[in-house]
Amino acid sequence: MQEQMAKMLISMAMACAAVAAVAAVVMVWQKFQKHSPCEQALVLLYEFRHACATPLHVLRQISEHMALEMQAGLDQPGGSQLTMLPTFIEKLPNGSEEGLFYALDLGGTNFRVLRCLLGGPEARVVKQEHEEVPIPRQLMLGTSEELFDFIAMRLITFMQREGPEFHRGCNLNDQQIRELGLTFSFPIRQTSINTGILIQWTKGFKITDGVGKDVVTMLQSAMDRQKGWPQIRVAVLINDTVGTLAGGHYWNDDVMIGMILGAGANACYVEGNLPNDIQTKSGKMVVNMELGGFWSSHLPRTDIDEQLDNESVNPGDAAFEKLIGGMYLGEIVRRLLLKMAQEARLFGGVTLTKLKQPFILVTPEMSKMHADDSPDLIVVGKVLRDVFDIGQTELPVRRIVHIVCDTVTKRSARLAAAGIVGILKKIGRDGWSDEVGVSGTLKPLRRNSERTARPELKRTIVAMDGSLYEHYNRFRIYMQAAVHELLSEAAARKLVIELSKDGSGVGASILAACHSERKHSAHT
Ligand code: ADP
Ligand code: MG
């Protein structure tokens, strides 16, 4: 009897609890409904900003983890998400290079051909010419032979227009082979300074063959098929970050890092502590980090980043790049605005067809909104209208959109800064003598004021290219500020980030000079 009573009481209590819980939810829901769309959107914004936060201690953990992952990737292929590819480049240009050299840059929907006359330490780059050639769409979907035949044909046409002013001081005659630096920005497994096996066609190229073949041989064979003059020798095979590093090093040997912040993110640097199986005479080699692949549990990722990743063509890959690259920033903003529109009716009853379209907001449009400092945020209103068909917006709505842009860019810029500092840490140039970052474990975090700054420090220059860095002013400012926060004062004074616009093309031709068979000169 007592037992039955107890059971009855328990079930009554449970029923009451359920009713109370439902009532609480209804009350919260009603309360939420009473809030304006802007207030509701602010709650979502607050949550997003919280998940995106990059306070100094998080950035430090990321840069330390980066240095550790760099070492792990060097120690063992596959040892880290950073593939740390050896480039076989040991000699970097020093300004003494002389002669006429070519470059060919393939890695997107256009390719570039370039010739450059180098006049040695005094005259430097005497003259250069280049041409940009769009790749016809059908060739991006055909065979590798068709693609390379087209490239060879256009390269030859360009070479045949070589004027006599390019022969000044270099004793070249028409019959001589021209040497060339090939910048090839698809994944390759490099086997020597001028050979590399294609791993995969990417960036919209759906070519049926070519994978597993040496790209230099494919180009060389296409040149041979054209017969007659001119002929080429590919002196170096590189990627665009290496070209940027070499182009910078030609002018200043403090350039130790080449970085590209454009659609994606990548960097290379001069490694002086090579693993046993990669040895060079000088003990140094340029390493291509494939930085975009970096992964760390410290990365501030939101549910929006996870969705973007899941729906991308390469889920689970390129985690760092998806938080930083120009290709993704506008898309992250679009996804958050869509969430605000659906969950908080931020834009009222407008149709969301455009806002639902992936990648419709490109980063240059986002940066226009972000740069809007008019009191009424007129540009923000215009971009919302032009891109998303969202006509009339109130100022508070435009303010929220502005803060969304700021949040996404700030995170990106500060993470890029942590990447740079991670590289400096790896090469012992971050200015702190208490942690080298390669010892295998993370050091406990301390305030900068409690740490020991390294007294003597060499100047380090980062040669930087890419439209995101070049054109997005607030990105640049945030990045610079975060680099300064992370470094010791002494190291911050010794670090220079230098825009090296389109430096990779000239850099590739100068690297070809540096590795010319015609003349050998001393380099460092
Ligand atoms: P790639 O990385 O393909 O070699 P770029 O270095 O020109 O080419 O970078 C292109 C990327 O730069 C684009 O994805 C774009 O998002 C970004 N970008 C271009 N212009 C701007 C701009 N004005 N503001 C912000 N980002 C820009
Ligand atoms: Mg580029």
Q: Which atom of ligand 1 is nearest to the CA of 363?
A: 16
Alpha carbon nearest to ligand 1 atom 24, residue: 364
pLDDT of residue 329: 98
Are the beta carbons of 515 and 193 closer than 8 angstroms? yes
Please state the rounded mean pLDDT for residues 335-346.
98
Alpha carbon nearest to ligand 1 atom 3, residue: 263
Beta pairing partners, 453? 432
Give the pLDDT confidence of 164-222 residue by residue, as tens digits: 999 988 777 777 899 999 999 888 989 999 999 998 898 888 898 999 999 999 999 99
Which of 412, 468, 504 to mutate for ligand 1's pocket (most ligand atoms within 8 Å of CB)? 468
Which of 317-320's residues contact partners 24+ apart within 8 Å by CB, and which partners?
317/293, 318/264, 318/292, 318/293, 319/81, 319/293, 319/294, 319/295, 320/265, 320/291, 320/292, 320/293, 320/294, 320/295, 320/415, 320/419
pLDDT at 17 over 70: no
pLDDT of residue 369: 98
468 Cα–ligand 1 center, Å: 5
Query: From CA 422, how far away is CA 291, in angstroms rounded?
Result: 11
326 Cα–ligand 1 center, Å: 6
pLDDT at 440 over 50: no
Ligand 1, pocket residues at CB < 6 Å: 108, 262-264, 326-327, 362-364, 367, 466-468, 471-472
Query: From CA 120, how far away is CA 125, in angstroms rounded?
Result: 8
pLDDT at 443 over 60: no
Query: From CA 278, how far away is CA 76, in angstroms rounded?
Result: 11
pLDDT at 332 over 50: yes
Are the beta carbons of 303 and 331 closer than 8 angstroms? no
137 Cα–ligand 1 center, Å: 21
Q: Please, what's the b/e burial string for 248-275 (b: 16 or more CB within 10 A of its CB; e: otherwise)?
A: bbbbebbbbbbbbbbbbbbbbbbbeebe
Is pLDDT larger for residue 75 or for residue 438? Answer: 75
Are the beta carbons of 219 and 151 closer than 8 angstroms? yes
Q: How sure is the predictor about 26, in pLDDT bands with cuts at 50, 70 and 90?
A: low
pLDDT of residue 134: 95
- Rounded to the nearest 10 degrees, how much is the dihedral formed by the CA atoms of 297, 303, 308, 313? 50
pLDDT of residue 431: 85
466 Cα–ligand 1 center, Å: 6
pLDDT at 310 over 50: yes
Alpha carbon nearest to ligand 1 atom 8, residue: 262
Which of 186, 367, 467, 477 to mutate for ligand 1's pocket (most ligand atoms within 8 Å of CB)? 467
* Secondary structure (3-state) at 256: strand
Q: Residue 130: which H helix or E strand, with range? A: strand 125-134
Q: How sure is the predictor about 446, in pLDDT bands with cuts at 50, 70 and 90?
A: low
Residue showing tokens 């002018």:
251
Are the beta carbons of 462 and 257 closer than 8 angstroms? yes
CB-count burial class (<10 Å; 0-12, 13-18, 19+) for 374: exposed
Token pair in block for residue 516: 């010319």
pLDDT at 520 over 50: no
* Residue 302 falls in which region: left (phi positive, over 0), alpha (psi -120 to 50) or beta: beta
* Residue 350 falls in which region: left (phi positive, over 0), alpha (psi -120 to 50) or beta: beta
Please state the rounded mean pLDDT for residues 284-310.
97
pLDDT of residue 108: 78
Please state the rounded mean pLDDT for residues 132-151.
95
Are the beta carbons of 389 and 422 closer than 8 angstroms? no
Is pLDDT larger for residue 490 or for residue 57? Answer: 57
Query: From CA 87, how far away is CA 189, in angstroms rounded?
Result: 9
Nearest C-alpha neighbor of 432 from the set 53, 63, 58 = 63
Residue type, 326: G
Average confidence score pLDDT of the chain = 90
Please state the rounded mean pLDDT for residues 135-151.
95
* Secondary structure (3-state) at 113: strand
pLDDT at 24 over 80: no
DSSP line for 307-376: HHHHTSSSTTS-HHHHHH-HHHHHHHHHHHHHHHHHHH-TTTT---TTTTSTT-S-HHHHHHHHT--STT
Strand residue runs (E) in 176-297: 178-184, 188-192, 195-198, 232-238, 255-261, 265-271, 285-288
37 Cα–ligand 2 center, Å: 41
* Secondary structure (3-state) at 293: helix
For the chain, what percent of residues have pLDDT higher than 70?
Answer: 89
Query: How far is residue 68 CA from its own chain's centroid?
Result: 20
Token pair in block for residue 423: 């590289």
Please state the rounded mean pLDDT for residues 433-445.
51
Give the pLDDT confidence of 358-409 residue by residue, as tens digits: 999 999 999 999 999 999 999 999 999 999 999 999 999 999 999 999 999 9
pLDDT of residue 484: 96
Nearest C-alpha neighbor of 408 from the set 63, 38, 50, 52 = 52
